[in-house]
Amino acid sequence: MPLTIAIDGPVGAGKSTISDEVAKRLGILHLDTGAMYRAFGLYALEKGVDPMDEENVCSLCAEGSVQVDVRYEDGKQITLLGGRDVSGLIRTQEAGSAASAVSRYVPVRAMLVRRQQEMAMEQPMLLDGRDIGTVVLPNATAKIFLTASPEVRARRRMLQLREKGDQTPFEEILREVNARDLQDTTRKLTPLRQAEDAVLVDASDMDFEETVQAILAVVEAKHG
């Protein structure tokens, strides 16, 4: 099996940006699996199906009419829905909520997990998500559980929102972070949890570079 690195963790821990950087330094591709759930959530919205409506979302899956896929341009992930580039469209709050809802359904997870496993068999890869170390790649070369306190994650989110001119109060953002944690950790199907053999990296008191270095150290210890 090629080199595989699994990074899981809660919302707002910086998984995507940190994963991008770690993958770049290792010279391997980064698969952001959340983007795939977002693309399928977007598909439900576009089809006029309520993401909370399990039966109809699952029949969208069964139709097999749409394919969520990924390709790379200059090492950058392009997320495709039925061959169409939806990389920008999936970055809305609405697509994030839809992703969170559709990710609870068995057929949706089965379809996306299978594709993620296929991709990881083809080339060395770093995958980030919620279930990579536990379900997608139980035999990953290195597993990291990246987290930070809810307050630190909410503060980071607030700074991102302020850059976009969004003035949502800190307390409200913190409430959303806690609500998303609860939803992700208590859902019946593959809830977010640290794999037994994953190394915990708590980035609450680390800056970007320190976090990247901490993860690279885990990879080096496992892979040499």
d(CA 206, CA 148): 9
Which stretch in 32-40, 46-54, 69-77, 167-175 sits in contact with ligand DC by CB under 6 A? Answer: 32-40
Asked if 124 interacts with ligand DC (CB under 6 A), we say no
12 φ/ψ sector (left φ>0, alpha ψ -120 to 50, else beta): left
DSSP 94-140: HHHHHHHHHTTSHHHHHHHHHHHHHHHHHS-EEEEESSIIIII-TT-
Residue for token digits 């790649």?
A: 137
Contact pick of 5, 6, 7, 11 for ligand DC (by CB under 6 A): 11
Which stretch in 81-89, 93-101, 148-156, 194-202 sits in contact with ligand DC by CB under 6 A? Answer: 93-101
d(CA 12, CA 33): 15
- CA-based diameter of the chain, in Å? 49
Residue for token digits 């980035």?
A: 203
Asked if 131 interacts with ligand DC (CB under 6 A), we say yes
Which stretch in 34-42, 62-70, 148-156, 166-174 sits in contact with ligand DC by CB under 6 A? Answer: 34-42
Contact pick of 7, 39, 81, 99 for ligand DC (by CB under 6 A): 99
**Shortest Cβ 125–ligand DC spacing (Å):** 14
Asked if 21 interacts with ligand DC (CB under 6 A), we say no
Residue numbers of the site for ligand DC (CB under 6 A)?
Answer: 11, 33-34, 37-38, 96, 99-100, 103, 129-131, 184
